[in-house]
A = this chain, B = another copy of it.
Amino acid sequence: MNTPDYTHVLTQVVDKLSDSNSFGGLFHQHKDGDPLPSGKSLYRIVELSRAILFPGYFGTPNLHTHTIHYHIGVDIEELFTLLTEQIQAGLCFGVESSGMATSDTPCRETAAKLAIQFISRLPELRQILATDVEAAYYGDPAANSFGEIICCYPIIRAITNYRIAHELYLLNIPLIPRIITEMAHSETGIDIHPGACIGHHFTIDHGTGVVIGATCIIGNHVKLYQGVTLGAKSFPLDENGNPIKGIPRHPILEDDVIVYSNATILGRITIGKGATIGGNIWVTEDVPAGARIVQRKNSQT
């Protein structure tokens, strides 16, 4: 083993793979002090946020009314430090990948300011997440308590990551919001783009396979089931044949809409208030308020 021949092959492969012509865009060379956002730090940021938003359910398991502010204080301070660092990394990444001049490199101060803005939004985030917990509880006869919802239901992890990521998205921070929603995607199978707008009392039952696109607008009291896609039908190309960015291309779901499992709703269409979309169907046109759409009868052989 590891005879001279093999060592020779190994060193040859190393040379080929280290050759600067071999990277094809797959090598990220960092400018000093400009590391990529760190998956590990972002994971910790999500853990801290969950602990702050749902004290006693995530993070330190034993909390008391009189000492909870110590825990939230320590968590908020760590969150501020990590978030400042990661936002800075995200801003640098955005500048680099946009090819902007380095003189415009965003500084640590901007990052700290943005981190503070995010942290100031946490009380509101907790309020809206409380409505999501309610929606999950009242929407599932199998649920026995709010606590069970918070501990077990994948929607809580997915919607929490989305709501965190959406706040960061609104602050124009690149890359990081998407990494945070992809963490929830991997954990729960629910893929919500941080750019989507989602009202209160939102829930998804089971959730695996749900996709919610970047320009979706979702009202209040909306409920989805597993496998639902709210996607784009197609997208216009620019003169170079590349997709044009930023065009509204995903559905609008008004208040009180229910979409059953595996339904696919595509394009900038509107599903009217209170409409019900049955499972396993393909919807590419507006649906009026209150309507109920189901799959055609199947054939028996």
**Residues in chain A within 8 A of chain B (CB atoms):** 1-2, 4, 6-11, 13-18, 20, 22-30, 32-33, 35-38, 52-57, 61-74, 76-77, 80-81, 84, 93-94, 96-98, 108-109, 112, 116, 119-120, 122-123, 126-127, 129-130, 133, 138-142, 144-148, 150-154, 174-175, 178-179, 182, 185-189, 191, 193, 195, 206, 208-209, 211, 213-214, 225-227, 229, 231-232, 235, 241-247, 249, 260-264, 266, 278-283, 287, 291-301
Contacts and interface: CB of A to CB of B under 8 A. Distances in A.
Contacts of A278: 282, 298
Contacts of A208: 185, 189, 191, 208-209, 211
Given A8-B66, A292-B300, 9 more contacts: A2-B64, A13-B119, A23-B55, A29-B56, A36-B56, A138-B241, A208-B208, A209-B209, A293-B299
Q: Which of A6, A11, A187, A279 has the most CB of B within 10 A?
A: A279
Contacts of A122: 13, 17
A140 B116 CA distance: 32
Nearest to A121: B13
A287 B300 CA distance: 9
A6 to B, nearest CB: 6
Counting from the closest, the 10 A-B pairs by CB-CB distance are A70-B73, A28-B56, A24-B130, A97-B145, A18-B69, A141-B243, A264-B279, A282-B295, A7-B66, A1-B32
